[in-house]
Chain A
Amino acid sequence: MAVLTAEQLVELRQGVQSEGDSATWKKADINAALQAIEDKWGAIQAVLSAEVDTATAPIVFSNAMKKKIGKYWLRQRFGRGG
């Protein structure tokens, strides 16, 4: 479980704010949401990795390749307008 640094939180908050929402929340609220995602990501990543291995057997993608595949899937799922 990695603790997001102040600099990481600033960059992430500014990214969220670039979407133009009218904020009814404060900095601490966004920080808590980001840290919650960060805290759970390890467990989620392990589950997804096992699922990919099952789906692609007998091929086993490297962790770096799974990360790349996941990155582009996330972009199409949650990219701007998604």
Chain B
Amino acid sequence: MATIRQAILGFATVPDEAGEVFFEPYDVKATNDVWKRLVIIFNDTSSRKGLRGAFNVPKDYVGAPKIIVVWTGTAITGDVEWDFDYRAVGGNDTESLDQAGTQESVNVNDTAPSAIHERMEASLALTAANLAADDTLLFELFRDGSDAGDTMAAAAIVHDVLFEYSDA
């Protein structure tokens, strides 16, 4: 049995319409300006703002699902409150992709890097029985600025969002 990670931000990725979550080239906030790839900025706000998307649960999925947020920042103190809301929809002509409400909402509080721009991983565990191979997993990843635990006075810079799971 192996532990596998795959990136989940595909064509369906869209930030919320309030403008506090957005795509930006990394060199806008980076110091050395060498790696000018796109990152996703989650601004310091007093509200819960997110990034929406969807991905396919792999055929070899068995269990131990987690969402791994790879992020960094220009603050070296304070915490970020990450929330992940999702619904897994499966089958062929059996389940609606337009259901109201989430199946599960999970959260984790992660502390700022000890030095600016250091790679951080925030891990959010999902309920294994909620997912099945070939499901479409609809999600929204939030930074919850309304949570008292979100104290970092800087934008969170997301470099990747991964789905981790165990295979057969």
What is the CA–CA distance of A14 and B151 in the complex, to the nearest angstrom?
Answer: 14
Known A-B contacts: A17-B153, A26-B77. Give 16 more (CB < 8 A). A13-B44, A14-B44, A17-B155, A20-B29, A20-B74, A23-B74, A23-B75, A23-B76, A23-B153, A25-B75, A25-B153, A26-B78, A27-B44, A27-B78, A27-B153, A28-B151
Interface status of A24 (Cβ within 8 A of chain B): yes
Query: Which one of A6, A10, A13, A26 has the greatest number of beta carbons of chain B within 10 Å?
Result: A26
| A27 close to B151 (CB less than 8 A) | yes
Query: Interface size of A by Cβ–Cβ distance < 8 Å?
Result: 18
25 of the cross-chain contacts (CB-CB < 8 Å) are: A6-B46, A9-B46, A10-B44, A10-B46, A10-B145, A13-B44, A14-B43, A17-B154, A20-B29, A21-B74, A22-B74, A22-B75, A22-B76, A22-B116, A23-B75, A23-B78, A23-B152, A23-B153, A23-B154, A25-B75, A25-B77, A27-B150, A27-B151, A27-B152, A28-B151
- Chain A residue contacts of B29, Cβ below 8 A: 20
Tell me if A51 is interfacial: C-beta within 8 Å of chain B.
Answer: no
Interface string of B135-151 (1 = CB under 8 A from A): 00000000001000011
Interface residue total, chain B, C-beta cutoff 8 A: 18
Question: In the complex, A25→B153 CA distance in Å?
Answer: 7
Q: For A9, list chain B residues within 8 Å (CB).
A: 46
A30-B46 Cα distance, complex, nearest whole Å: 13
For residue B130, CB closer than 8 A to chain A, the reply is: no
State which residues 1-18 of A face B: CB under 8 Å: 6-7, 9-10, 13-14, 17
Q: In the complex, which residues of chain A have a beta carbon less than 8 angstroms from the beta carbon of B153?
A: 13, 17, 23, 25-27, 29-30
